[in-house]
């Protein structure tokens, strides 16, 4: 059966202890803006009001419990104006820490990092560092 409509990804929501501090970290990583009011939730987005064409945004929600295990879902970042290794250096200087280095001598691979509250994310090679021949994907069904 074909469904007439689909859903779109609205926000990547992050539970955290300090929503403003973590939002500022991620805003610096992504070059986005931070938006908040008296509500404890903090939003980051490229522009406000968030443009539906620029979704998803990231929403940071304070919760009382700390992170207890590895993330089941995490963002993979691709640098837009620098190399993977330069981007790793930049985000480490912003407060991230490397948790697993999967870089290979031939230049392939990625780096797993944790943000200041321990949420994992990866930095992959930039498009300029990737081969010009695209990967072959299969359509699932």
Long-range contacts of 60-65 (CB under 8 A, 24+ apart): 60/13, 60/14, 60/16, 60/19, 60/20, 60/22, 60/23, 60/26, 61/13, 61/14, 61/15, 61/16, 61/19, 62/15, 62/16, 62/17, 62/18, 62/19, 63/15, 63/16, 63/17
Long-range contacts of 39-45 (CB under 8 A, 24+ apart): 43/11
Domain range annotation of the chain: 10-64, 74-131
Q: What angle do CA 44, 25, 72 make, to 5 degrees?
A: 80
pLDDT digits (tens, 9 = 90+) for 34-92: 999 999 999 999 877 767 677 789 999 999 998 888 888 899 999 999 999 999 999 99
User: If one looks up domain 74-131 in CATH, what number appears?
Assistant: 3.10.180.10
Domains 10-64 and 74-131 share a fold: yes
Task: Tell me the fold of 10-64.
Answer: 2,3-Dihydroxybiphenyl 1,2-Dioxygenase; domain 1 (3.10.180)
Give the residue from 116, 78, 82 showing the smallest Cα distance to 99.
116
pLDDT digits (tens, 9 = 90+) for 89-131: 999 999 999 999 999 999 999 999 999 999 999 999 999 998 8
């Amino acid at each position: 059966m074909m469904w007439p409509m689909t859903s779109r990804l609205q926000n990547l929501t992050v539970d955290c202890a300090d929503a403003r501090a973590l939002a500022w970290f991620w805003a610096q990583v992504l070059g986005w803006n931070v938006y908040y009011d008296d509500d404890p939730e903090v939003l980051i987005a490229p522009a406000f009001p968030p443009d539906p064409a620029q979704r998803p945004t990231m929403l940071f929600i304070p919760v009382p419990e700390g992170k207890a295990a590895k993330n089941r879902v995490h963002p993979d970042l691709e640098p837009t104006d620098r190399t993977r290794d330069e981007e790793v250096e930049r985000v480490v200087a912003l407060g991230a820490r490397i948790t697993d280095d999967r870089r290979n001598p031939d230049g392939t691979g990625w780096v797993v990092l944790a943000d200041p509250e321990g949420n994992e994310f990866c930095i992959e090679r930039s498009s300029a560092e990737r081969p010009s021949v695209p990967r072959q994907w299969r359509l699932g069904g």
